[in-house]
Amino acid sequence: MHTHTLLLLLLLKPGVCESCSLVVSPAGLVVKYGAPVSANCTSDTVTSMGWVPSQGESQVFRTGVKELTWRVDSLTDWNIKPQCFEMSEKGGQCARVLNVTVYKLPDRVSIRYLSHSGPVVEGHQYSLHCVVQNTAPIEHLRVTFFKVSTNGEQTVLYTQQLNNDIREPVNESFSLQFSPTSVDDRAQLCCSAMLDLGPQGPQPPPVMESECLNTTVHFAPEFSCSAKLQVREGEGLTCDVRGNPLPSVTWLRDGKMLTPPTHLSREDAGNYTLMALNRIGKANHTMEVEVLHDRAARGASCQAAGSATVALLLHQLIHWLY
């Protein structure tokens, strides 16, 4: 019987028989590696039918039936392509292929820089790699790089899917060219891998996340105060500057270095320039300061936008010979 079946199979052309009445149910299967699986093949009329390849205890071939079940207790063949075939009295033959997708969730998802460690520098480019270990099938895997800001907000940086029909588990590395900016300082960089196997697969599609990389970005000084300040008499001058490493700051008025006044008088009105420097770069900021002597003054201080790495208060003066 077995040999007989195999010989017949050589003559079969799956799915091309126009009058084939065989129906395989379900039409396709998505199965976790090692899980049990079964499908039925039915025919319009009583016939002789079989399933190949045979696995476990499933019946290979039977005569005088309208239905035959294919069953595997533990599916461990990544490339399995079961076929149900029929041999009718009239001598016709036909076959139906059952689509089976065998999947395995990743053992591990991790993120790292390619040949880099420690702080990154604004404006430079780094290669970030997301490594997904031992998963199948790789073409259904969607890898997403994302960033978690200090306020908890998540931003997707890049999503990638491979076009690769390998069915066995593989290790795969996905990469992203990353150019950090000052807002990325202290953010976290992470990646996730989603195995999206369509409506027949597990719902919602399983997602595995990497641990995240804490990002330290070194960046040149940045000022976040306006060009015009109105300050009440008796108040001090404040301007916020961010920078990593901590910048040194020099105050100038009319080209002369000074300690910013802590209690402004009307004579202190004028144009002030701040010069900030760290080893990444330098920046200047000039502001026109108006001193108000009545109580109607508004907007006396200038606010930093976002998180200030350094809030420079008036007393701070670091001598820096420009």
Ligand X SMILES: *[C@@H]1O[C@H](CO)[C@@H](O)[C@H](O)[C@H]1NC(C)=O
Residues forming contacts to ligand X in the complex (CB under 6 A) are 25, 27-28, 38-40, 67, 69, 99, 133-134, 169-171, 214, 270-271, 275, 282-284, 288
What minimum distance in Å lies between the beta carbon of 169 and ligand X? Answer: 6
Say how far apart CA 280 and CA 244 lie, in whole Å. Answer: 8
Q: In the complex with ligand X, which residue's Cβ is closer, 6 or 211?
A: 211
CA distances from 52 to 2, 33, 66, 135 (A): 11, 19, 17, 27
Which tokens go with 53?
A: 């390849």
DSSP string, 180-206: --GGGTT-EEEEEEEE---TTS-SSPP
Q: Which is nearer to ligand X, 8 or 139 (CB)?
A: 139
Closer Cβ to ligand X, 164 or 284, answer by number: 284
Amino acid type, 87? M
- Report the residue number, 48 or 133, with the smaller CB distance to ligand X: 133
**Given 3-state DSSP classes, what are the helix, strand and coil percentages for the chain, each rounded to the nearest 5?**
5, 50, 45
The nearest distance, CB 5 to ligand X, in angstroms, is: 21
| Residue whose pair of structure tokens reads 């900030």 in the numeric block | 276
Q: Are 37 and 71 in contact (CB under 8 A)?
A: yes
DSSP codes joined into one string, 23-42: EEESSEEEEETT--EEEEEE
* Shortest reach from residue 303's CB to ligand X, in Å: 22
CB of 236 to ligand X, least distance (A): 19
Closer residue to ligand X (CB): 93 or 134 = 134
Residue with tokens 């899917």: 161
CB of 240 to ligand X, least distance (A): 18
